[in-house]
Amino acid sequence: MQRTIHRTMPTRMVALSLLPPPNPLAPKAPFGFGAFVIDPKCRGEASFALHIWGYGAGHDPAPMRDAIRALFDPETMALICAPSQSPAGEHAPAPFPDAYLDLVPRTGLRRNLFAPLPRHILASAGRVGGLDLPEVEPTPLARLGQIGCEAQAAWIFWLQAYCPVNCRRKLLAGYLAWRQLQRARALPVRT
């Protein structure tokens, strides 16, 4: 008897939070991205990596496109987070912003998921992972400071909404352990 294994997690996932560069006719503003890369392993384990890049007002957007494309291979699925400030009770699906089309590569047979998440839902998902995100729209410069947390919170939301309980528990436990290791590395060494 042959067993069929159903995979909930893609082979590789990149959760992106983007602050796209302004269009050429708009005033100059800072832009950047946060990318949380998840590479599932066997038995509900995964490796995690966080990439955060910010660019100053007037900077050429080509390096941002190149940095994002370097994170993708043919088996990568993108989860693109677009934080929004939707009115209470309104859950109309938002269209995919045109500014994102040029930034996120389409590779292999994997599809890209667009997640227009209201800020309060993103903040709630972030609290599950120990992340502190505001529920109100920050300034572009303040948003660059939290864009990596937005990407992680978007992945946590996806994990809670679309993964079976056993897989979710294992991946979330691995993620929380990874976060603790990252915090421990950031602490200054006292002699």
Going from N- to C-terminal start, the domains of the chain cover 12-57+70-82+102-183
- For 140, the enclosing helix (H) or strand (E) is helix 140-162
SS3 (DSSP) at 136: coil
Pairwise CA distance, residues 42 & 48, whole Å: 14
Find where tokens 């992680």 sit: 152
- Strands 76-81 and 12-19, how do they pair? parallel
pLDDT in tens, 82-138: 887 665 445 555 556 666 767 877 765 567 888 889 999 999 999 999 999 988 888
Distance CA 174, CA 160 (A): 14
- Of 18-27, 92-101, 107-116, 173-182, the one with minimum mean pLDDT is 92-101
Q: Which two tokens stand for residue 113?
A: 């998921």
